[in-house]
Structure 1
C-alpha cells in the first residue's frame, strides 16, 4: 500500500483551529479519508479530524507587543517542538494557519530544517491595516499564501509570493438548522423577551480584559431592564476560566457551549455585545445587530495604534468602509458607553433592522455566496503538493 499523503497543519488559536478542521475535512473529501493523514498542532476541532497536537495551544493565544515579549521563551520552545514534529513525521506539505507571531517563526524553522518541504500560509498578516513590510517577510518564508479576503493578494503578489484568494469560511457557515425559538424554549425564555448575547472572546487575555467590562455593562442594562435575559458564549479554549468568572455575576446568565447551541443563541438574540474577532461575521450572518469592543494592554495599544492605518477593526465595517457596527476600543470601551450603545438597539427596533440590513449588504461585499472556501483551500494545498 502506498504511503498516504501526509499534511502538517499548524494552528495556535481557536479561529485557526476552526480553519484547520475545515481544511482537513475538505482534504478527506477530495482524496479519501484513508489516503491522507494529518500531523501538527491545533485545538479540539482539529483533534476531531485526527491532528494530535503535542501541546495545548491555549498558551500561544497572545495579545499585544508586551505580552509577546513576555511569552518569547515559551513561544520559542513551542516553535522548536513543532519543527521537531515535522522532522520526525516528514510531511508532504505544511499549512501554517494565521497567528503571525508564532507561524512565521515556525516557517523559518521548517525552512532551515527541511529545505525541500513546501510551506503554505493560510491567512496572511493584515498588512493593509499595519506593518506592510510583513508581506516581504512572508514572501521569503513560505511558498504560497491562501487569503480570506479579495483585497489581500495584491499586497503579497507584488513581493513575489504566489497568492490565492480562497474566501472566508465564516461566510459559508450554515445557519439553516439553527433555531432561535428552540434556544428560548430550552432556556425558559418567552418569544418576546429581549436577549443580550455576550461573546467575550476565545483568548485568555481577552477574557481577562473584556469579561469585567462586559459584566459591568450587563449589570447596568439589567438594572434598567429587569426582564432582559443574558447569555454568554463559552469558547472551548477558555471554558473553565470564563465559567468561573460568570458564576460570580450577580444575575442569571445562560452559558452557551458547543457550535449548535451557539448558532441557536445567535438566532435567538435581540442584540449582541462582542469582543472584536471573526465572530462578528458569524453574528452578521445570523442577522444580529451588535456592538463591538476591544482592549489591549496599555503599552501594547500605544505601540499598535502608532502603526495602524485601517479606520475600522470589524471586517464588514472594513469592507463597507464605514462604521455599520459601533466599535469601542481601549479607553472608549467603558461599561457606560457600551451599555448606552446596546440600550439604543434594545429600545429601537428600527435601528436594529437598519443595522441588520447594512451588515447583510456588507457581507455581500465580502464575498458571501462564493464556493466553499475550505474546498478551495484544499485544492490549493493539493496543487502545491502536485507541483512539488
Structure 2
C-alpha cells in the first residue's frame, strides 16, 4: 500500500460508450478515490455517472448505444469518428492506464489504435464479451488488444485465460445497487390506492430501442387497459430517451392513462409495482433484484435477427442472465415476432389475474439475484485490481 503522506499519482482514462458502462465507470472512480495513498487524475468518455465523479466527456455517448449487425453498419462512420476522437484525447492526455468498459465494438477499436500508437499505455478491459454464449473467437481478439480483463462473471476466466489474457473476477456491481424504495410513498404521491394493481412499463434506454419497441408496448398497454381497467399504469423514462419518449407519449391518445415519472423516482416506482413489461437490458436484472415479476421483450433489426437465428450464433438457452443463473424462465422472454401485443397481452393478463403466482415469482427472483450477488464490493475489487496493475 502507498504512503498516504506521500501518495502515488496515476493518470487514468476510462471509456464507457453506453449507460450501463457509465454506471460501472462511476462506481470504479468512486472506489479509486477512496483508496488511501493514491491520487488519480481522471479523464474519459462517459455519461452522467462518470460526470458526477468529475469526468467531463468530450462528446455525448448517447449515439453510441448500438446493438445488432445492421445497426452497426449504419452507424459505422459515426462510430469510427468517435473512436478517432477518443484515441486523440487519450494520446493528448497520456494516462498510465486506459480502462475500456463493456461496449465491445467501440472499445475494441479504441484499444487496438492505442496499442499501435502508444504501446506503453496499459490497457484493461472491464466486462468481457459473452464468449460462453456466442462468438468464442472474441477471446483471442481481446487477448491481442489489451493487457488484462476484469470480469463480472465468475465463469469467464477459463475462456479468456485459455486465449492468453490474464483475467480477474471482480463481480457485478449491478447486484449491489440499492433498488429498494418507498412504494407506499410513491403511491400516495401519485394518487394510487394501496390495493391498486400497478404495472410498470420500461421502453428501454437507447433511442433505437424506443423506436423499435414503442408501438408494440403502446398497443399492449392500450389492450391491457381495456382488459383490466382496474390496473394502474406507470412508466419511468431513462434520461437518454426522455425527450423523444415524452413527445410520443403526449401525442398518443391510447396512453392517456399512463403515469409518466422521472428517473429519480425509479426505486420508489419499483417498490410500488406489482408487475412490469420491460425492454430487455440491465433494468430487467434490477427489476428481478426488487422482486418485480415481469416480461422482457426485445426486437433487433430484421436482417440482424435473421442472421443470428439462421446461424445459431447465440448458444445460451436464455437471453436474461437471471434466467441463465436460475436455469429456468423466471423472466418471461419475448423476442422479435413474439414481442407483439398478441403474445404480450395474454402473458401480462395471466400475471395480473394470478396474485399467488406473482408472489412466488417475486420470491424466486430475489433468491436468484441474491445468489448471483456473491461477496459484493465489486467496484472496490475492481479498484484494487487497477491499483495492482498500475503498480506492477
TM-score (norm. length: structure 2): 0.94
Aligned to 1:62: 66
Q: Deviations over 1:247-287 (max 9, x none)?
A: 2233222223234x101100100101011111111111111
1:101-142 per-position Cα deviation (integer Å, ceiling 9, x unaligned): 101001101101110111110111111111110011001101
Separation in structure 1 between the aligned mates of residue 274 and residue 370 of structure 2, nearest angstrom: 22
Match of 1:92 in 2: 96
Q: 1:163 aligns with which of 130, 147, 167?
A: 167
Instruction: Find the counterpart in structure 2 of residue 212 from structure 1.
Output: 215
Structure 2 CA distance for aligned equivalents of residues 144 and 237 of structure 1: 31
| CA–CA distance in structure 2, aligned partners of residues 255 and 6 of structure 1 | 42
**Pair 1:31–1:202, CA change in 2 (3 A):** farther
Q: Map 1:36-115 to 2 at 5 A.
A: 36-115=40-119
Q: In structure 1, what is the equivalent of residue 377 of structure 2?
A: 372
| Secondary structure in 2 matching 1:52 | coil
Match of 1:181 among 181, 184, 188: 184
User: In the alignment, does 2:295 pair up with 1:291?
Assistant: yes
1:31 shift after superposition: 4.0
Q: State the partner residue of 2:324.
A: 318
User: In the TM superposition, what is the alpha-carbon distance from 1:51 to its structure 2 partner?
Assistant: 1.3
Find the aligned partners of 2:14 and 2:106 in 1 and give their Cα distance. 13
Structure 2 counterpart of 1:232, from 220, 230, 235: 235
**SS at 2:268 equivalent:** helix
The answer as to whether partners of 2:293 and 2:361 remain within 8 angstroms in 1 is yes
Per the TM alignment, residue 164 of structure 1 is displaced from its structure 2 partner at its CA by 1.1
CA RMSD of aligned residues (A): 1.5
1:201 to 2:204 alignment: yes
Return 5+ residue gaps in structure 2 as ranges. 1-5
Confirm whether residue 127 of structure 1 aligns to residue 150 of structure 2: no
Report the counterpart of residue 386 of structure 2 in structure 1: 381
Matched residue SS, 1:384: helix
1:340 to 340, 346, 354: 346
What is the alpha-carbon distance in structure 2 between the residues aligned to residue 206 and residue 188 of structure 1? 30
> Displacement of 1:354 after TM fit?
1.6
Residue 13 of structure 1 corresponds to which residue in structure 2?
A: 18
1:303 aligns with 2:307: yes
Q: Is the contact between residue 83 and residue 113 of structure 1 (CA under 8 Å) also seen in structure 2? A: no
User: Which of 78-87 and 235-244 deviates more?
Assistant: 235-244
Q: CA deviation at 1:66?
A: 0.8
Q: Judge which range, 73-82 or 228-237, deviates more.
A: 228-237
Native 8 Å contact 2:173 2:376 kept in 1:
no
Gaps of 5+ in 1: none
1:360 corresponds in structure 2 to 366
Secondary structure of the residue aligned to 1:236 is: coil
Distance across 2 between alignment mates of 1:29 and 1:227:
49
Q: For residues 164-210 of structure 1, what are the alpha-carbon distances to aligned partners after superposition, in whole Å with 9 as ceiling and x for unaligned?
A: 1111111101245x111111111111111111111111111101011
CA distance in 1, matches of 2:136, 2:262: 37
User: Displaced runs of 4+ in structure 1, greater than 4 A?
Assistant: none
Deviation of 1:359 (Å): 1.5
Tell me the distance in 1 between the aligned counterparts of 2:306 and 2:381. Answer: 38
Q: TM-score, normalised by structure 1?
A: 0.95
Alpha-carbon distance in structure 2 between the residues aligned to 1:316 and 1:2: 41
Say which is worse superposed, 242-251 or 208-217, in terms of deviation: 242-251
Structure-1 residue corresponding to 2:267: 263
Q: Deviations over 1:359-384 (max 9, x none)?
A: 12321342x25121111111111111
Counting matched residue pairs gives: 383
**Equivalent-residue separation in structure 1 for 2:368 and 2:70 (angstroms):** 34
Deviation string for 1:60-118 (max 9, x for gaps)? 11121011011111111111111100111111111101110101001101101110111
SS at match of 2:384: helix
Whole-angstrom CA distance in 2 between matches of 1:334 and 1:175? 28
Partner in structure 1 of residue 3 of structure 2: none
1:280, 1:244 → 2: CA distance? Answer: 25
Q: 1:6: Cα distance to partner?
A: 1.6
Distance 1:272 1:225 in 2: 14
* Distance in 1 of aligned mates of 2:99 and 2:132: 22
